[in-house]
Amino acid sequence: MNVETPLPAPRARRPFLRGCAIIALVFAAFFVLIGIISRLDGLSLKTGDKVAVLPVTGLITDSEATIDQLKKFAKDDSVKAIVLRINTPGGGVGPSQEIYEEVRKLKGKKVVVASMGALAASGGYYIACAAQKIYANPGTITGSIGVIMQFVNVKDLIEKIGLKGMVVKSGAFKDIGSPVREMKPEERELLQGVIDNVHLQFVSAVAEGRRLPREKVLRIADGRILSGEQAKTLGLVDALGNLEDAVADAGKMAKIEGEPRVVTPPKKKISILELLKDEAKSIIGDKLSENRIRLDYLAQ
The residues carrying an active-site annotation are 122, 174
Q: d(Cα 217, Cα 234) in Å, to the nearest integer?
A: 9
Which residues neighbour 109 within 8 Å (Cβ) at sequence distance 6 or greater? Answer: 74
Assess contact for 93 and 297: CB atoms under 8 A: yes
Considering only CA atoms, give the Rg of the chain. 31
CB proximity list for 71: less than 8 A, separation 6 or greater: 102
